[in-house]
């Protein structure tokens, strides 16, 4: 039996208590259409077991979500004619997470869609990069 959270909208979708357009499911994951899509075919992939975010989800469930996300990405390219796909996860409020049940956005990309990078790529400060790398090593 999956672990759930009583106030989690995704747990309610998984339990069938709220409607959703489910496009794929297996013993560990459920994929359903995002009700506020960034592009045509935007899908969410979630683990059946409740985990708040990337830092809480067990490795087995994370692996299952990634495998399911790849399968959905293949479908959106093949069946919806997407030119590319973004897989996005937000971990924490500062990273734009709004539903606190781990989920992977599968966002089909089309040559003429309006989405843009949320930052402007530019050369970083080498000393700052080296300092961050040193902090992450240990």
Domain ranges of the chain: 9-137
Whether residue 14 contacts residue 51, with contact meaning beta carbons closer than 8 Å, is answered with no
Q: Residue 111: name the closest of 138, 137, 84, 74 by CA.
A: 84
- Give me the pLDDT at residue 53, please: 98
Question: What pTM does this model have?
Answer: 0.93
CATH classification (class only), 9-137: alpha beta
Q: Residue 45: name the closest of 99, 4, 7, 95 by CA.
A: 99
Q: How far is CA 73 from CA 31, 54, 100, 104, 111, in A?
A: 11, 20, 23, 11, 16
Residues catalogued as catalytic: 103
What tens digit of pLDDT does each residue of 70-111 get? 999 999 999 999 999 999 999 999 999 999 999 999 999 999
């Amino acid at each position: 039996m999956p672990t759930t959270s009583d106030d989690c909208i995704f747990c309610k979708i998984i339990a069938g208590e709220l409607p959703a357009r489910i496009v794929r499911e297996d013993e560990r994951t459920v994929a359903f259409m995002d009700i506020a899509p960034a592009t045509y075919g935007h899908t969410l992939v979630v683990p059946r077991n409740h985990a708040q975010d990337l830092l809480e989800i067990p490795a087995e469930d994370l692996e299952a979500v990634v495998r399911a996300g790849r399968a959905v990405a293949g479908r959106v390219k093949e069946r919806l004619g997407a030119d590319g796909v973004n897989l996005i996860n937000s971990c924490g409020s500062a990273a734009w997470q709004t539903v606190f049940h781990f989920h992977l956005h599968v966002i089909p990309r089309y040559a003429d869609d309006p989405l843009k990078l949320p930052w402007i790529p530019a050369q970083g400060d080498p000393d700052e990069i080296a300092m961050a790398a040193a902090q992450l090593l240990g």
